[in-house]
C-alpha cells in the first residue's frame, strides 16, 4: 500500500500523490519570534520533522519552508516597552529558536523566510487581490480581504459566513465580520513599508500565502501546522492563495497536529498558558531532559491527537529510550548452544519489524504502532543475545533497529544529542581559546601582569583552565 495522509480539508485519509513525482513541497507555519519558544512549539516542529524525515526515508526530495513572523503587534509592543528595535528582538529569538531546534534534533528547514524580508512578495499578492476584486481599502487606511468574494470560504474549518456574521460584533472598517486585514495602515511608532495603497505593514495571514508562493510555487503538496491554526489562519490562507491567481487547491494536503496539554490541578487537562505557569522554554526543558526522550514521548501518540505532558509520561519515555538503546548491547563472548536457532528467529523478527513499521508509518504516520514494532525488535534482540546469537547476526538486526528508528528521527547509536552539540560547540571554540591564550602570552611578554591575569580569570569563568608550564601555556576545559 502506498502512503496515506489524513487531509483536514477532505476529512479523510487519501493516498499521497505529490504534484511532481518524487518531490514534496512542504510549508509549515512557524513561530512569532517575540519570546522564547516553548515545548508546545517544539512538539509541532517535532511532528513535522518526523513527517519530513519519513518522506525523505521513502525517497522523496522535500523542500521544507517554515516562516518566522517578525512583524507583529506583540513584537512591536514588547520592543516599545524594552526600548529596542523590533528586528533586534525578533532576530534574537529567531536565533534562539534555531539553536533550540538543533538541540531538539529537528532538521533545519530548507528555508526560514521572515516577513521583514518578504515585503515585496506580500505587497504584490495584496495588489493582485485588490485588482481581482477580492480586497478593499477601508476608510481607516487598512486593506481587508473580502471573504464574500471567495466562494470556498469556510471549506477547511467547516464554518459558514452566515454563522460567522451572527457571532461577531460589526466593525466600522470591515464590510463583513469574516473579512480580515491584509495590510494595516501605519500608526505612529510602528514599523512601516511603502505600498501603492499607503504606508503600513502586513497583517498576519498574508505572509504565509505570499511566502509559500514565493518559495514553493502557486500550489504546494503539504501545508502543516497546529490544529489551533485551522481557523482563522489556514482558512484565510486558502482564501488568499486561491483568490490571487485562481489556482486551487492551494495545498493538496492539510496536516494538523494536536496540541500539547498539561494535567490540571483537578482531573482534567489544561492548555498551555502563561497564567497557568506551564509554559516551559525549550532550552530549559532540554537542560533537564534528553531530546530523544521528548521525541519518544511525542511520537508515542498519534500526531493528530492531543498529548498530555506529565512527569510520569516523560519518565516512561526515558525508560523506553533506555530499553531501545539497551538492545544495541554487544553479543556475549561465547556463542551458546541454541545460537543458530536464535539467529534465525532474530532475522525473522527483524523482517517482521520492518514490515510492521513501514505499514504503520504509511498509514498516516502511525508512529505509536511503528514504535511498538521497534520495541518488539528490541525484545527479539535481547532474547537472541541471551540465547547466544553471534556478533554478525546481532549487528545486522541492530542496524535495522537504528535505521528504522532513524527514519523518524531517533539517534539511537549516537546517544545523547545535547552532549554531542556541546562537543561540536567545544570544537568550534578551540581557535578562539587559542587566540585568547596567544594574547595572554603577549601581555606576559610585555610584563602586563594585570592584563594577563584578567584574561586568565575571565577564561576560568568560562570554564577554561589555563595551565602554565616551563614549555609555555596550555589549556583544558575545567
Residue ranges binding Zn ion (CB under 5 A): 29, 208
Q: How far is the CB of 37 from Zn ion (least distance, A)?
A: 16
Q: How far is the CB of 2 from Zn ion (least distance, A)?
A: 28
How many other C-beta atoms lie within 10 A of the C-beta of residue 248? Answer: 14
Q: How far is the CB of 208 from Zn ion (least distance, A)?
A: 3
Q: How far is the CB of 79 from Zn ion (least distance, A)?
A: 22
Q: 252 or 440: whose CB is closer to Zn ion?
A: 252
Q: What are phi and psi of 64, to 5 degrees?
A: -120, 115
Q: 29 or 394: whose CB is closer to Zn ion?
A: 29
Q: 231 or 375: whose CB is closer to Zn ion?
A: 231
Specify the residue for cell string 537472541: 384
Q: From residue 471, give the alpha-carbon distance in Å to each of 118, 267, 440, 477.
A: 56, 67, 15, 19
Residues in the chain, overall count? 478
Sign of CA dihedral 86, 230, 38, 106: negative
Q: How far is the CB of 361 from Zn ion (least distance, A)?
A: 26
The C-alpha atoms of residue 352 and residue 361 are separated, in whole angstroms, by 14
Q: How far is the CB of 231 from Zn ion (least distance, A)?
A: 12
Q: How far is the CB of 233 from Zn ion (least distance, A)?
A: 6
Q: Is residue 242 within 8 Å of 271, Cβ to Cβ? A: no
How many other C-beta atoms lie within 10 A of the C-beta of residue 371? Answer: 22
The C-alpha atoms of residue 427 and residue 56 are separated, in whole angstroms, by 30
Q: 225 or 320: whose CB is closer to Zn ion?
A: 225
Query: Considering all CA atoms of the chain, what is the largest pairwise distance in Å, rounded to the nearest integer?
Result: 88
Specify the residue for cell string 532538521: 107
Q: 115 or 135: whose CB is closer to Zn ion?
A: 115
Q: Is residue 182 within 8 Å of 197, Cβ to Cβ? A: no
The C-alpha atoms of residue 4 and residue 363 are separated, in whole angstroms, by 5
Q: 93 or 254: whose CB is closer to Zn ion?
A: 254
Question: 110-138: string of b/e by CB count within 10 Å (b at 16+)?
Answer: eebbbbbebbebbbebbbebbeeebbbbb
Q: 29 or 45: whose CB is closer to Zn ion?
A: 29
Q: How far is the CB of 29 from Zn ion (least distance, A)?
A: 3
Q: What are phi and psi of 290, to 5 degrees?
A: -80, 145
Q: 232 or 320: whose CB is closer to Zn ion?
A: 232
| 168's grid cell | 461577531
Amino acid at each position: 500500500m502506498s502512503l496515506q495522509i489524513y487531509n483536514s480539508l477532505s476529512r479523510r485519509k487519501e493516498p499521497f500523490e505529490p504534484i511532481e513525482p518524487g518531490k514534496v513541497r512542504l510549508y509549515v507555519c512557524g513561530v512569532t519570534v517575540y519570546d522564547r519558544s516553548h515545548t508546545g512549539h517544539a512538539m509541532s516542529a517535532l511532528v513535522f520533522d518526523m513527517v519530513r524525515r519519513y518522506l525523505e526515508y521513502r525517497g522523496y526530495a522535500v523542500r521544507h519552508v517554515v516562516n518566522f513572523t517578525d512583524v507583529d503587534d506583540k513584537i512591536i509592543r514588547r520592543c516599545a516597552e524594552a526600548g529596542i528595535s523590533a528586528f533586534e528582538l525578533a532576530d534574537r529569538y529567531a536565533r534562539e529558536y534555531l539553536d533550540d531546534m538543533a538541540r531538539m534534533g529537528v532538521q533545519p528547514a530548507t528555508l526560514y523566510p521572515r516577513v521583514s524580508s518578504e515585503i515585496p512578495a506580500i505587497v504584490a499578492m495584496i495588489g493582485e487581490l485588490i485588482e481581482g476584486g477580492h480586497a478593499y481599502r477601508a476608510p481607516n487606511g487598512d486593506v481587508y480581504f473580502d471573504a464574500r468574494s471567495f466562494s470556498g470560504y469556510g471549506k477547511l474549518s467547516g464554518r459558514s459566513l452566515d454563522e460567522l456574521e451572527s457571532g461577531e460584533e460589526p466593525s466600522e472598517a470591515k464590510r463583513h465580520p469574516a473579512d480580515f486585514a491584509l495590510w494595516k495602515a501605519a500608526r505612529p511608532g510602528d514599523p512601516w513599508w511603502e505600498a501603492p495603497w499607503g504606508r503600513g505593514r502586513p497583517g498576519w495571514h498574508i505572509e504565509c500565502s505570499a511566502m509559500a508562493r514565493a518559495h514553493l510555487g502557486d500550489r504546494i503538496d503539504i501545508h502543516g501546522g497546529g490544529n489551533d491554526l485551522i481557523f482563522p489562519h489556514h482558512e484565510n490562507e486558502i482564501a488568499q492563495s486561491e483568490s490571487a491567481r485562481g489556482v486551487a487547491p492551494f495545498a493538496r494536503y492539510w496536516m494538523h497536529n494536536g496540541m500539547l496539554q498539561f494535567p490540571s490541578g483537578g482531573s482534567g487537562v489544561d492548555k498551555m498558558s502563561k497564567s497557568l505557569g506551564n509554559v516551559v522554554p525549550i532550552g530549559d526543558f532540554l537542560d533537564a531532559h534528553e531530546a530523544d526522550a521528548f521525541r519518544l514521548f511525542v511520537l508515542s501518540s498519534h500526531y493528530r491527537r492531543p498529548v498530555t505532558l506529565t512527569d510520569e509520561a516523560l519518565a516512561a519515555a526515558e525508560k523506553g529510550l533506555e530499553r531501545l538503546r539497551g538492545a544495541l548491547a554487544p553479543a556475549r563472548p561465547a556463542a551458546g548452544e541454541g545460537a543458530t536457532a536464535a539467529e534465525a528467529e532474530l532475522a525473522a523478527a527483524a523482517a517482521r519489524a520492518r514490515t510492521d513499521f513501514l505499514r504503520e508509518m504509511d498509514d498516516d504516520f502511525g508512529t505509536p504502532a511503528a514504535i511498538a514494532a521497534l520495541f518488539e525488535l528490541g525484545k527479539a534482540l535481547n532474547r537472541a543475545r541471551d540465547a547466544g546469537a553471534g556478533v554478525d547476526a546481532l549487528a545486522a538486526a541492530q542496524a535495522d533497529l537504528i535505521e528504522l528508528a532513524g527514519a523518524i528521527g531517533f539517534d539511537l547509536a549516537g546517544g545523547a544529542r545535547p552532549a554531542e552539540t556541546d562537543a561540536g560547540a567545544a570544537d568550534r571554540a578551540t581557535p578562539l581559546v587559542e587566540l585568547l591564550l596567544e594574547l595572554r602570552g603577549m601581555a606576559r611578554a610585555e610584563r602586563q601582569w594585570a592584563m594577563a591575569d584578567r584574561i586568565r580569570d575571565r577564561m576560568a569563568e568560562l570554564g577554561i583552565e589555563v595551565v602554565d608550564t616551563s614549555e609555555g601555556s596550555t589549556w583544558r576545559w575545567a
